[in-house]
Amino acid sequence: MDTVSPQIRSSIMSRIKQRDTGLEVQLRRALWKAGFRYRKNVRIFGTPDLVLARSKVLVFVDSCFWHGCKVHCRKPKSNTMFWETKISRNQIRDRKVAGYYRRRGVTVLRIWEHDIQANLDGCLMRVAQAVNRARAK
Ligand SMILES: [Zn+2]
The rounded Å distance from CA 91 to ligand 1 centre is 14
Q: Where are the alpha helices (DSSP H) in 5-112?
A: 6-33, 80-102
d(CA 43, CA 119): 28
Say if residue 14's pLDDT is above 90: no
The rounded Å distance from CA 105 to ligand 1 centre is 28
pLDDT tens digits for range 76-127:
888 889 999 999 999 999 999 999 999 999 999 999 999 999 999 999 999 9
The rounded Å distance from CA 54 to ligand 1 centre is 30
Query: Distances in Å between the alpha carbon of 119 and those of 5, 51, 78, 114, 131?
Result: 37, 21, 33, 8, 19
The rounded Å distance from CA 39 to ligand 1 centre is 25
Average pLDDT over residues 9-22: 65
The rounded Å distance from CA 34 to ligand 1 centre is 25
The pTM of the full predicted model, rounded to 2 decimals, is 0.82
Is the CB of residue 120 less than 8 Å from the CB of residue 33? no
The rounded Å distance from CA 32 to ligand 1 centre is 24
User: In the chain, how many H helices and how many E strands?
Assistant: 4, 4
Q: What pLDDT is attached to residue 7?
A: 74
Average pLDDT over residues 5-33: 77
Q: What pLDDT is attached to residue 15?
A: 64
pLDDT tens digits for range 32-84:
999 999 999 899 999 999 999 888 999 999 999 999 999 998 888 888 899 99
The rounded Å distance from CA 111 to ligand 1 centre is 10
> Which conformational region is residue 59 in: left (phi greater than 0), alpha (psi within -120 to 50 degrees), or beta?
beta
Say if residue 137's pLDDT is above 80: no
The rounded Å distance from CA 16 to ligand 1 centre is 13
The rounded Å distance from CA 22 to ligand 1 centre is 15
